Structure 1
Amino acid sequence: MADSNTSSTQTSSHSSDSGKRGSSKVEFSEDEETLIIRMYKLVGKRWSLIAGRIPGRTADEIEKYWTSRLSSSSK
């Protein structure tokens, strides 16, 4: 019986994870946004370098976030 509970839990978390991947909107904290802005001013569009300063974030996530939210406000 414990196996069936574990199985349903894994299925539930997998479903919610796949929903997050399909979403085009990436959520960042205010601190992360501030760091992205500061790093962009220092190194430009070197997304992998910026991502290396933010644990758990990928260069693609940061680039998508920048282009969708920050690029128009920084010009």
Structure 2
Amino acid sequence: MDKHLRTKQTKTSPIVASSSSQEVSSIEWEALNMNQEEEDLVCRMHKLVGDRWELSAGRIPGRTAQEIERFWVMKNN
């Protein structure tokens, strides 16, 4: 049998659980109170850098990357 005629078998990669699939408490998902300026900045930063929440949080004093991500998820889902 010719080596070139053999069909390739594709390897299946294991499913990796991401942090977003973990259960969170309802307290963790309470709505964040952001002012309009903060909301605008989050939206502009997301357009520029995407899901790099640490970079966005660095531009908003007093906000963590987790808060920025939670705000984005709650607003856009």
1-side partners of 2:68 and 2:47: how far apart?
14
TM-score by length of 2: 0.61
Query: What's the CA shift for 1:25?
Result: 1.2
The unaligned stretches of length 5 or more in structure 1 are 1-21
The CA distance in 2 between the partners of 1:36 and 1:26, in whole Å, is 13
1:55 corresponds to = 61
Q: TM-score, normalised by structure 1?
A: 0.62
Q: Could you tell me the percent identity over the aligned residues?
A: 50
Larger CA Rg, structure 1 vs 2: 2
- Number of positions where the alignment pairs a residue of Structure 1 with one of Structure 2: 50
Deviation per residue, 1:9-65 (Å, 9 max, x gap): xxxxxxxxxxxxx36111100000000000000000000000000000000001000
Q: Considering fraction of residues, name the structure with more helix.
A: 1
Give every structure 1 segment of 4 or more consecutive aligned residues whose post-TM-superposition deviation is greater than 3 Å: none
Extract unaligned runs of 5+ from structure 2: 1-26
